[in-house]
Amino acid sequence: MSTAQGKVKLPIYLDNSSTTPVDPRVLETMVPYFTNVFGNAASRNHSFGWSAEDAVDTARDQIASLIGSSAKEIIFTSGATESNNLAIKGVFEMYAQNGNHIISVETEHKAVIDTCLHVEKLGAEITFLKVNEKGLINLDELKAAIKPNTILISIMYANNEIGVIQPIREIAEIAKQAGVLFHTDATQAVGKIPVDVIADGIHLMSFTAHKMYGPKGVGALYVRRKNPRVKVTAQIDGGGHERGMRSGTLNVPGIVGFGKAAELCEQDMEKDTARVGALRDRLEAELTTIEESYVNGSIEHRLPHVANISFTYVEGEGLMMGVKDLAVSSGSACTSASLEPSYVLKALGLDDELAHSSLRFGLSRFTTDEEIDFAIECVKTAVYKLRDMSPLWEMFKDGIDLKKIEWQEH
């Protein structure tokens, strides 16, 4: 592997669906707000507070511009997890008189699934829709799941493990016809693909800065103000900040960085997508020349920077050890240090072994050609080496159907 190694700095970061590095242009914009302009945006009596408030207003405009909303519809939070909690719990409380039924999907991020399970304990009725082998929901099943007491449909824009994009506009239309609110966790989509809350028909949308080259610890919830006017019950009480929906002193430097990151994404999205998408396609094309390797999820409806590939007859932990020079995530759940296979991949119908032997690659605007060359070489070497050591691979090559073997218990 010496060929590519000379040009690249190891380890190589290809886990951008987990978090992205902060763009240097974003950091530069943030720095003054830690030192010279350190006021509290809620301090209305002096210039320090006014300067901070101006900076927050600018960021609100930049973020609103990226998603096609008005600035007043952006509620700042600590991140997408808090936004998802505020949307789901906030709607459950605010619209309790209209019903208690919430529809979501079994492949949602844990921040949505666990929040739904939390409100279920408080009396909500939850329906989790299934997905097909490509990771997409069935729109007829969504329609059939709606009941007179349904108040919210919460379906993610794009999946964090397989990058699959759900049919958002069709979902929004179904919600609209039924008079039900539609929330989407768009954490992976905003900044990477065009998202327009009005054209898409979205009522509430969660997203965060650190998935789009901004800082960690700051996110937003879009809450629509007209047609329909949406309200959520605050989950954090205090001074009534953020239109009374989310109290707490605003993280001014973080918000400034979020705003700049949004501006850069809007400006560079087309260019970034073309380049990163081409790199991802090359990575995938090369890795699928490996016999018995499979791309997980829909190829047609997905994000440009994510690839999730399974390699049969390769042991998951061995694979992660074999690619230790690559920061990628494995088919084990990224939510903890557990060795449970990914619930998202299992929902697509993959068995435990195949789910374990999957790698998720997340590329970014900073990923280079040389890094992709190295990653291809690294993964190929690891897979071939592990298969050489695998009796199962040998049996498979001998034409033995491993599904039909009855293993002896000792």
**pLDDT computed for residue 336 by the predictor:** 47
Q: Quickly count: other Cβ atoms within 10 Å of residue 271's Cβ.
A: 10
CB 159 within 8 A of CB 308: no
Indicate if 378 belongs to the active site: no
Which of residues 239, 265, 291 is at a domain's end? 265
**pLDDT computed for residue 332 by the predictor:** 64
CATH number of the domain at 377, please: 3.90.1150.10
List the 125-129 sheet strands across, edge first.
74-77, 219-223, 204-208, 181-185, 150-154, 101-105, 125-129
Which amino acid type is present at position 410?
Answer: H
Residues in the chain: 410
Which of residues 244, 265, 286 is at a domain's end? 265
**Same domain for 120 and 215?**
yes
CB 278 within 8 A of CB 257: no
Which amino acid type is present at position 293?
Answer: S
CB 309 within 8 A of CB 357: no
Task: Output the six-digit token pair for 290.
Answer: 């490996």
**Same domain for 83 and 112?**
yes
**Same domain for 47 and 185?**
yes
Residue 405 lies in a domain: no
**Same domain for 204 and 316?**
no
Residue 404 lies in a domain: no
Rounded Cα–Cα distance for residues 231 and 90 (Å):
8
H or E segment and range at residue 270: helix 252-287
Local confidence pLDDT in tens for the 410 residues of the chain: 444 456 799 999 999 999 999 999 999 999 999 999 999 999 999 999 999 999 999 999 999 999 999 999 999 999 999 999 999 999 999 999 999 999 999 999 999 999 999 999 999 999 999 999 999 999 999 999 999 999 999 999 999 999 999 999 999 999 999 999 999 999 999 999 999 999 999 999 999 999 999 999 999 999 999 999 999 999 999 999 999 999 999 999 999 999 999 999 999 999 999 999 999 999 999 999 999 999 999 999 999 999 999 999 998 889 999 999 999 998 765 444 556 789 999 999 999 889 989 999 999 999 999 999 999 999 999 999 999 999 989 999 999 987 777 766 66
List the 293-295 sheet strands across, edge first.
293-295, 306-311, 358-362, 329-330
**Same domain for 194 and 280?**
no
**pLDDT computed for residue 22 by the predictor:** 98
Q: What domain range includes position 207?
A: 24-265
Which of residues 265, 282, 314 is at a domain's end? 265
Find the catalytic residue in 116, 265, 334, 378. 334
- Quote the distance between the C-alpha of residue 255 and its chain's center: 20
CB 59 within 8 A of CB 70: no
Site of tokens 């974003």 = 26
Rounded Cα–Cα distance for residues 17 and 26 (Å):
19
CATH number of the domain at 256, please: 3.40.640.10
**Same domain for 16 and 35?**
no
